[in-house]
A and B are shown apart, each in its own frame.
Chain A
Amino acid sequence: MNDPSSLPLTPKGNNNLQTNTNTAAKKLQAFQNSKFMKLLRPILGVVVSLYIVFRLYQVLVVHQEYGADTWTRLLISGLIIGGVYSLIAIGYTLVYGILFMINFAHGEVMMFGAYAGLYSFWAFKIIPIAGDPPTNFLNAYPILAIILAFLIGMTVSATMGFFLEKIAYRPLRKAPRLVPLISAIGASIFLQNAAMLLFSPQLRDVTNPDILRRGAGWTIVINGSNVILPYTGVFTFILSILLLVGLYILVRKSKLGRAMRATALDKKTAALMGVDVDSTISRTFIISGALAGAAGVMWGIHNGLVYYFVGFIPGIKAFTAAVLGGIGNLPGAMVGGLLLGIVESMGPAALGIDFQLKDVLSFLILIFVLTFRPSGLLGEVLSEEKV
């Protein structure tokens, strides 16, 4: 019940309030188990499950449209994109866990990270390194170049996160919940247009170092067909997982992590216990910004495309992923991200529908999951009392 890994949303220690509302909660529970809801949910569940089984049967058994090679490709594609979604979703969840606000400008923070990565690689490409044949910094020291690019991207995004909180959110900490949301939306519009005016609306291609060439990869032969496991994809996926694990350890073990959890539970008590709430929140934004920056650089390396609008769609998707997993819950964000990635890539093929409708599918799954688990897959059941 008391999972220390998640940033708990519910002030469980807040006894007074809890006992007061307990009877009411029971009534609500009773209502939710009322005839109407009792009927509605199973019917919905049965209908949806039947449809899915029917479509799966048709696609997999009757038509056998796709072989194992195609499924493997789809799985690879889904895992990679899911990894990036997880990383961005963590940023939402971290901030939400502490401030209960949706940082709408998170996608834009990622976009600036992506630009930083793009420009770093370009700059490294310009620096000449003597040798035979003469080469450039990017290809002479690729690992160093990649590390530097990540550092630059994460620094830029972390700085942005820090100032975003300081300028647009901190003065609103005591305001009604929707106000910081609108402020975040304003910041998001501002940052998008700032990037467009600074860097031009052109779509840019990221120049990768040769060892991480896009399109190259390990080849696996399945069903006599070559399935390519791209280097960039594997790199992206492994790095996302490493960062997620690192963050998990940070939140669980470090002093800062403890401060973050305390702040999430109860700001006032945390402050009384000697936690510097303001600086903890600032640091949370720095961490979430750094993760978004890393996601941005990865996006550039794997997808190769950077422009001022690049943060918008992943931002919305990651937000969806965070809610799907249970917002405020770190493992939840990861599960949600991966699940969303896989649903997007395999779902349309498995159900035999247009790829255009993949977003419809992901949102339907979100609605479906939330109908049965109103606080997400791994979210705490109690949280609905809170929100």
Chain B
Amino acid sequence: MKTLIRQSIRTGITYGIVQIFFILIAFNTMVGIMLAKISGIKNPGEIPAAKFLIAYTILMGLWVGISALSKKKFLPAGHKLLAGFTAGLVSAILVGLLELAMTGILVNKIFIRDFLTVLSFDFIKATLFGLTPVLGIVVTMGAIVLGSLLAVGLNIVTNLNAVQEHWKKDLSFLKNLNDKFQRMIRGKYHLIWQIVGISILAVAVIFIPMKWGSYWNYVFGTVGLYVILGLGLNIIVGLSGQLVLGYIAFFAIGAYTMALLNAPEPHNLMWGFWPALLLGVLLAALSGILLGLPIMRLRGDYLAIVTLGFGEIIRILLKSDVLTDFTGGPRGIQNIQGPMLFGKPFNSEVDFVYLIIAGVLLASFVYNRLQQSRTGRAWLAIREDETVARASGVDTIKYKLLALAIGAAFAGLAGGIYASRNQFTGPDEHALMASINVLSLIIVGGMGNIPGTILGAFTLKGLPEILREFANFRLLAFGALLVFMMLSRPEGLIPSHRPKYDEPNEVSGEMKKKEVPHDQ
């Protein structure tokens, strides 16, 4: 009983702080506006009507209540009520204290926006629902407690816990599906399944983009490009186990090759799309080898920082005064010619979506073949233990360089298509954050497998587009989701059935038994 109350108070304090934070970044008015839009008001203005803010507050209370009751499935109803109520009340008191302080600011007309930028008088009035301060605080606290009690009620009636626990189950369902899928395409009737699967995919792939608007085609195309990038980085990080943080440099090389060979400025070479794409891929692969040669002895985080440095060097050089005449400098390169195929120019997002899908298929195919080949096994050996691999006769240098070259080639391919699609590329497109995005996507999706990479690309590039409604809160939500995803699914959304890149034993000090399924 005491533990229950203590836990609830702790939950209440945590979520009280979260709610205070939300108010201080004006998250409440933003949600209020969204609620207003959902209910059909076309132009809700900057500050939504009080009823929506009250609805937001009740939602917050609901959240507190749900959190207070999570993992408490088998408590008697009375205890649930107590836990939910305590948590709700504690967070309501905290929010009430904040609103009291805000009232003080309002009454004394203190200009505090130099410190906390959202606290304008209008905002404070809105947060108090336009009521008198005392009434406003009471209503806020009441709404939060009401919300938490609502959560208790819901919990007792529908057993909301089940929904929460499903989060994990649903995703392991994804893994099962993947396993089933793998068995299907590798099992007895693999050839039939492969053909059937590919035909279904082909039909979907050909007809769906025609139905979408250009916006979703664009987003879909971007996701596709990141799938190619993700597969390339997966070869380097996921298969051969080299942590590379400057991966976007190879992308930049592909993009700039395309741009320099196909734009009127600065060189006016106009080679056409296909030769430039090919050259971009080759150059990227070559630069992968050149980067690899001096740093073959490095491992882990040393490799990470060196490759990060390489990425930054490429970006700064592209931007620098020294190379302005050659690369266009900070202005980047404009009016890049699009591809021609059978005499037809590509001039809409739909065309590029097809091109990108073809690229994704090619990349997946190459990736899949490599993974299952002798090379793939050599990479796995290097990833698991480089020293032992070397001792067992694997030419580690050759295979590590090969991984870098092939991974880089994938990036070059994506870069070329990217530059051609946007008709523009500039140095700041290729900043560190882009590398980090690619790395994040393969880890979020689950390292070392194609479905994981695709899902990761959707998460990393599709999610921010879906989060557009959140306006300024977009990246905040994205960062929080990234942490949350890692906490709830440390092995990625679709874990690979192969062992991971790095074993936890060196961190936790324990050796973990692992299975290496042999699928050949």
Contacts and interface: CB of A to CB of B under 8 A. Distances in A.
Interface stretch (B41-49, B146-154, B413-421, B440-448): B440-448
Interface stretch (A18-26, A72-80, A285-293): A18-26
Interface in A259-307: 266-269
Contacts of A376: 302
Contacts of B176: none
B14 to A, nearest CB: 10
Contacts of B490: 172, 175-176, 179
Interface size class of B (residues with CB under 8 A): 35 or more
A370 B298 contact: yes
A187 B483 contact: yes
Contacts of A196: 472
B269 to A, nearest CB: 27
Contacts of B296: 37
B301 A186 contact: no
B214 interface: no
B322 interface: yes
Interface residues of A, number: 78
Contact of B476 (A173, A194, A362, A366): A194
Contacts of B500: 176
A198 B24 contact: yes
A188 B479 contact: yes
A24 B391 contact: yes
Interface string B463-492: 000000000110110111111111100110
Interface stretch (A54-62, A228-236, A246-254, A316-324): A316-324
Nearest to B24: A198
A99 B432 CA distance: 24
A183 B310 contact: no
A269 to B, nearest CB: 7
Contacts of A362: 309
Nearest to B389: A24
A183 B482 contact: yes
Contact of A359 (B294, B312, B444, B476): B312
B387 interface: yes
A99 B390 CA distance: 28
Nearest to A191: B479
A190 B480 contact: yes
A16 B507 CA distance: 17
B434 interface: no
Contacts, number: 220
A173 B302 CA distance: 21
B478 A189 contact: yes
Interface of B, secondary structure class, is: helix
A174 B504 contact: yes
A359 B432 CA distance: 13
B70 to A, nearest CB: 15
B368 interface: no
Interface string A302-332: 0000000000000010011001000100000
Interface string A372-385: 00111000000011
Interface in A5-46: 21, 23-25, 27-28, 31-32, 36-37, 40, 44
A68 interface: no
A3 to B, nearest CB: 19
Nearest to A199: B117
Given A182-B443, A323-B302, A371-B294, A189 B482 contact: yes
A282 B365 CA distance: 46
Contact of A354 (B299, B322, B439, B478): B322
A364 B490 CA distance: 34
Contact of A197 (B473, B501, B510): B473
A112 to B, nearest CB: 13
B299 A173 contact: no
Interface string B227-265: 000000000010000010000000000000000000000
Interface string B312-352: 11001101111000000000000000000000000000000
A268 B510 contact: yes
B2 interface: no
A152 B478 CA distance: 30
A384 B298 CA distance: 7
A178 B501 contact: yes
Interface in B477-520: 478-487, 490-491, 500-504, 506-510
B390 A176 contact: no
Given A23-B391, A167-B483, 13 more contacts: A102-B301, A119-B115, A168-B487, A177-B502, A178-B502, A183-B482, A185-B436, A189-B478, A194-B25, A356-B321, A366-B306, A370-B298, A376-B302
10 contacts: A40-B293, A176-B447, A185-B482, A193-B472, A193-B476, A198-B21, A356-B319, A360-B317, A366-B305, A384-B297
